[in-house]
Amino acid sequence: MLHEDVVGRIRAILLDGEITPGARIPERELCERLQISRTPLREALKVLAAEGLVQLLPHRGSRAAKLTDKDMRDLFEVCQGLEALAGELACERISDAEIGAIAAAHDEMVRHYREGDLIQYYRGNRAIHEAIVTAAGNPALTGLYASVTARIRRARYVTPMTPQRWALAVKEHEAILNALQRRDGAGLSHILRAHLRHKREEVLQAGFAETEASDLTLRIA
């Protein structure tokens, strides 16, 4: 009843950016806060280290994993590959109902775009990508995807979203939905790669930042 939650709670703390990348993770403090002893906490930290969210230094405690630019590029590449694979598989297996749900989510996302609501747009965007991965019907793939996106998201970088980029992203999403509806696996795979590549370029251009999100910037994933 204890250990299962602990991993999730610490993961949430890391993803929320409450402990910033590279910062030390104070065992005693977390123990008090979560009202647990060090044993389950340390077990959880080992698990998170295996996931790549935490870095364990022998006799020097654990830190929130600090990702370099190279690490981010690598993760984006893998994310791209996984999404491309998911897209192909999804086209073979997705049901009409699932396509309908994604189409609905897409329309809602486009509405948020028209309203200029970037936060809701990103939320919808993420939901669509996750739905495609889920539609692949491959739990192993879903798990790896979740792990990779978690690491990317944790990086807490910010990127300016220009009107041009935003318009391009929406356009690409139209193509994604279209390919999905035609169940064109190869096509979808191709579009997803381009889509992710564009996103990656934004991110790497922007670099990392510790600043909070302002009007036109937002951490994405």
Q: Point out which residues pair with 54 in neighbouring strands.
A: 64
Query: Rule CB under 7 A: is residue 66 a binding residue for DNA?
Result: no
Cβ neighbours, 10 Å, residue 53: 21
Please tell me whether residue 62 binds DNA under the rule CB under 7 A: yes
Q: What are the phi and psi torsion angles at 61 (to 5°)? A: 80, -170
**Which one of its own copies, DNA, none is in contact with 60 (Cβ closer than 5 to 8 A by kind)?**
DNA
Interface with DNA, residue 42, by CB under 7 A? yes
CA distance 46 to 49: 5
User: How distant, in Å, are the alpha carbons of 79, 99, 149 from that of 74?
Assistant: 9, 30, 12
Which single residue is written with the structure tokens 């999730």?
8
Show the tokens assigned to 93: 């297996």
143 part of the interface to DNA, by CB under 7 A: no
Considering only the stretches 29-37, 135-143, 162-170, 198-206, report the one whose residues sit in contact with its own copies under the rule CB under 8 A: 135-143
139 binds DNA (CB under 7 A): no
Residues lying near its own copies in the complex (CB under 8 A):
1, 3-4, 39, 42-44, 46-47, 49-52, 58, 71, 74-75, 77-78, 80-82, 84-85, 89, 138-141, 143-144, 148, 151
